[in-house]
């Protein structure tokens, strides 16, 4: 194999793929990156047998061929080369890299042992074209609620599914739940995508990519971002029927500026570290006032007030301040509405607009 590529392209591809190459897996070759010529491109790929990431970059192919190289070393090395042209040459399972004023040789392994990269059948798969902004928002709004508890694998992913002619994303860890509506759909989709895969896609997403193609079949999902392809297995199992957990209405609710609410929740959070983040919201409907209170026996206490547009009954509820700040960070609108029903029922945070497409449910703290 002999190819010439630019440092920038190669470095970007290696940076993304080396994250996936893992030294923990049973097969030693999985800590290597595959380099293979593909007509007039160079394919750069890595996999950990959960997810595979492959990049195709423009290359001047002098002689076709392939090799696999230890991921970390190659990526760190290429990262530190000047932004010039790089020539890669393979001979005797060694990769010779020559760049301006520098040349080196790295021992590699032939690619026979490297796992075959899964391919999705475009004709059989259900596909969606999403704008990258939409994708970025929806995914980051939902993944925050996904669980990290590996004893319940099904909750460690985000549930992509069709419901009433729309595609929805949902995630929950049992304490909070997020749901986001993305696009209209005619097909039936039901897939739980691992959180790590979605985060990988988010990291790989560059500003110059405007559209993402998402393809599903029964057992896998592929994200296409221009010349990058990320394919992942799906999490096996049935996602809980979460819709019944979303309260259809709440007894008390208020609407307020998002940044104002965020500010006083953050202040209250400072006094809530000791009590596991517990802060108390007190809504006085008659006075249109929300009071946020928190106490730390060793530090002191805090109580802040803001004016709100209140509806329903007065009442109070205790929440984990971190969950609430996470939720407020996820919402994008200037105004938010927050509803609750007593001290024990789930609380709902939504954008205060007509037909909001994002819901964030938080369970109160038992106090």
Partner 1 sequence: MGHSLWQSVLGEIEVSVSHATYMTWFKNTELLETTDESVTIAVPNIFAQRQFEVKFNDQIKEILEKNGVKPTTISYVVKTNKNKPVTSRETTRTETKAADRLVAPLPKKQTATNGLNPRYTFANFIVGSSNDLAYSACQAVAKNPGTKYNPLFLYGGVGLGKTHLIQAVGNEITAKSPETAVLYISSETFVNDFLESIRFKKKGFADKYRNIDVLIVDDMQFIAGKEKTQEEFFHTFNALHQANKQIIISSDKPPRNIPTLTERLRSRFEWGMSIDIQMPDFETRCAILEAKAAASSAEIDRSTVEYLANNVKTNIRELEGALNQLLAYSEMRGIPADISTAEGLIGNVRRSRPQHLSSRQIIDKTARHFQLTTAEICSSKRDKHIVTPRQIAMYLLRSELHLSFPKIAAELGRKDHTTAIHSVEKIEKAIKLDFMIREQVAELREKLYA
Task: Give contact residues for partner 1 (rule: CB under 8 A).
Answer: 25-28, 47, 49-50, 52, 113, 115-119, 152, 154-155, 172, 174-177, 218-220, 231, 233, 236-238, 240-242, 244-245, 274-276, 278, 297-298, 318, 320, 323, 344, 346, 361, 363-367
Residue among 101 and 297 whose Cβ is closer to partner 1: 297
CB of 119 to partner 1, least distance (A): 7
CA angle 102, 103, 109 (to 5 degrees): 145
CB nearer to partner 1: pick between 51 and 88: 51
Minimum CB separation from partner 1 for residue 192, in Å?
9
> Which residue reads 């790929």 in tokens?
45
DSSP code for 236? P
Residue 199 CB, shortest distance to partner 1, in Å, is 19
Q: Give the pairing type, strands 278-284 and 228-233.
A: unpaired
What is the Cα–Cα distance from 85 to 100, expressed in whole angstroms?
8
- DSSP E strand boundaries for 147-299: 157-163, 166-172, 176-184, 190-194, 211-216, 220-225, 228-233, 252-257, 278-284, 289-296
Q: Which is nearer to partner 1, 110 or 245 (CB)?
A: 245
Helices (H) and strands (E) in the chain, counts: 6, 26
Q: Among residues 77, 50, 255, 57, which one has the least CA distance to residue 157?
A: 50
Q: Give 164 or 218: the residue with its C-beta nearer to partner 1.
A: 218
Chain centre distance of CA 188: 23
Q: Is 76 helix (H, G, I), strand (E, B) or coil?
A: helix
Q: How many CB atoms lie within 10 A of CB 205?
A: 18
Give the nearer residue to partner 1 in terms of CB position, either 119 or 183.
Answer: 119
Q: List the structure tokens of 223.
A: 């994200």
Q: Which two tokens stand for residue 155?
A: 């909750």
Q: Which is nearer to partner 1, 11 or 178 (CB)?
A: 178
- Provide, rounded to whole angstroms, the least separation between the CB of residue 23 and partner 1: 13
| Residue 336 C-beta: closest distance to partner 1, Å | 20
Q: In this complex, which beta carbon is closest to partner 1, that of residue 241 or of residue 355?
A: 241
In the complex, the smallest distance separating the C-beta of residue 287 from partner 1, rounded to whole angstroms, is 28
- Shortest approach of partner 1 to residue 141 CB, angstroms? 18
CA dist., res. 211 & res. 228, Å (int): 12
């Amino acid at each position: 194999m002999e190819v010439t590529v630019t440092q920038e392209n190669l470095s970007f591809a290696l940076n993304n793929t080396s994250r996936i190459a893992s030294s923990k897996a049973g097969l030693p070759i999985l800590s290597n990156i595959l380099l293979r010529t593909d007509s007039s491109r160079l394919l750069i790929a890595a996999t950990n047998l959960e997810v595979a990431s492959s990049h195709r970059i423009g290359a001047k192919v002098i002689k076709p061929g392939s090799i696999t190289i230890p991921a970390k070393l190659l990526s760190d090395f290429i990262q530190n080369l000047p932004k010039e042209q790089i020539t890669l040459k393979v001979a005797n399972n060694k990769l010779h890299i020559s760049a301006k004023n520098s040349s080196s040789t790295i021992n590699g392994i032939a690619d026979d042992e490297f796992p075959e990269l899964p391919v999705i059948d475009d004709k059989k798969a259900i596909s969606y074209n999403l704008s990258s902004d939409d994708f970025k928002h929806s995914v980051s709004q939902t993944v925050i609620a996904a669980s990290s508890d590996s004893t319940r694998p099904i909750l460690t992913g985000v549930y992509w599914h069709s419901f009433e002619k729309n595609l929805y994303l949902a995630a929950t860890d049992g304490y909070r739940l997020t749901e986001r509506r993305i696009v209209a759909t005619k097909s039936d989709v039901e897939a739980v995508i691992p959180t790590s895969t979605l985060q990988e896609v988010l990291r790989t997403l560059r500003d110059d990519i405007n559209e993402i193609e998402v393809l599903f079949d029964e057992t896998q999902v592929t994200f296409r971002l221009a010349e990058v392809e990320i394919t992942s297995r799906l999490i096996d199992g049935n996602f809980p029927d979460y819709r019944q957990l979303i309260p259809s209405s709440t007894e008390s609710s208020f609407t307020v500026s998002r940044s104002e609410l965020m500010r006083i929740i953050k202040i209250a959070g400072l006094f809530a570290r000791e009590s596991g983040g517990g802060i108390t919201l007190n809504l006085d409907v008659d006075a249109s006032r929300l009071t946020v209170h928190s106490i730390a026996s060793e530090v002191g206490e805090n109580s802040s007030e803001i004016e709100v547009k209140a509806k329903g009954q007065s009442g109070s509820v205790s929440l984990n301040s971190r969950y609430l700040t996470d939720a407020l960070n996820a919402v994008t609108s200037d105004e938010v509405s927050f509803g609750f029903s007593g001290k024990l029922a789930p609380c709902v945070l939504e954008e205060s607009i007509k037909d909001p497409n994002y819901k964030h449910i938080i369970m109160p703290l038992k106090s």
